[in-house]
Amino acid sequence: MNAAELTQKLREMRDTLIAVSTGGPRIDQVNQRYRQLYSEVADGLVDIGLENTIPYSDLWQWYGRWSSGDLPSYQSRRVHIGELVDPLLASLASGLAKPQHLPTGWEKVDRTIGKARDDLASSTDEEDFQLVGVLCREALISLAQAVYDSSKHPVADGAHVSSTDFKRMIEAYLATELAGSSSEEMRRHATAAFNLANNLQHKRTATFRLAAICLEATASVVNIIAILSGRRDPS
C-alpha cells in the first residue's frame, strides 16, 4: 500500500471515529468497515516503519473510551481523535517514515524506551502522557550511566558527578569522544531532549503530541550515542 492509499484510509478512519461519537451513524452500521480499515492501515504502517498510535481497533472500544466521562463534548472527542491521527497524516505527507527502533544492547535503555513506546500507544489522558516523560528521563539517565566512565571522561569543572546527573555525565562523555564544535552541538541536542522529558513529566496539560515529540527526541539521542560508541558499526 502506498502513502496516498494509506492517507485516504487514515482519513476515512478519522472521519468514522469522529462521526460515531458526535451524533453520526450507529456503530453497528459502520464497525465492520472500520475494522477492515484498521487492519489494513496497521499493516501498511508497519511496512513503512511508522508506529500505529491509534489504540481503537474496534469502534466499541472507542465507545467505551468516550463514554467513560472524560470526553464529554463533541469538541473534546474531535480533538482527541485529531491528536491520534493527525501526526500520522503529517508523517505521510512529509514522506518521512520513522526510523526502525533497533536495540542498542544497553538492556535498561532499550527496555525503558520500549516501555515508553508501549505506554504512549495506550495513553489516554494527561497523567499517562506525563509518565512517558518520566520514562524518557530515566532512559536518558541510564544511557549516560552506560557510557560515562569517570576514569576516561573528566568533568570540566571537576565537580563530583552523581549517578543521576545526566547533563554532566553526557557532557564529559561527549567532550572526550567527540572533540571540537561537534561536541558542543551534540551536548545541546542531548540537553534539549532531557529538558523536554523533565518538562513533560511535570506538565499538567500534557498531550499526545508533546509526549510523542519527547519520545522521538529521546530516541534520537540514544541512537546518536549508540552510533558514537560503535554500536551501529557494520558487523
Distance CA 214, CA 220 (A): 10
88 shares a domain with 199 = no
The per-residue pLDDT string of the chain (235 residues; one tens digit each, 9 = 90 and over) reads 777 889 999 999 999 999 999 999 999 999 999 999 999 998 888 777 778 889 999 999 999 999 998 899 999 999 999 999 988 888 887 765 544 567 899 999 999 999 998 888 888 899 999 999 999 999 999 999 999 999 999 987 777 889 999 999 999 999 999 877 778 889 999 999 999 999 999 999 999 889 999 999 999 999 999 999 998 888 6
Q: 221-227 contacts: CB < 8 A, separation 24 or more?
A: 221/140, 221/143, 221/189, 221/190, 221/193, 222/104, 222/109, 222/113, 222/139, 222/140, 222/143, 223/99, 223/102, 223/104, 224/186, 224/189, 225/143, 225/147, 225/170, 225/173, 225/190, 226/104, 226/106
190 shares a domain with 128 = yes
126 shares a domain with 44 = no
120 shares a domain with 46 = no
| Domain contains 157 | yes
Among 67, 94, 121, the domain boundary falls at 94
- Which residues in 86-121 are b (16+ Cβ under 10 Å) and which e? ebbeebbeeeeeeeeeeebebeebbebbeebbebbe
59 shares a domain with 134 = no
Among 68, 94, 120, the domain boundary falls at 94
72 shares a domain with 25 = yes
Which residue range is the domain that position 81 belongs to?
3-94
196 shares a domain with 137 = yes
Among 94, 117, 150, the domain boundary falls at 94
If one counts the domains in the chain, the total is 2
> Quick one: cell of 150?
569517570
112 shares a domain with 85 = no
44 shares a domain with 117 = no
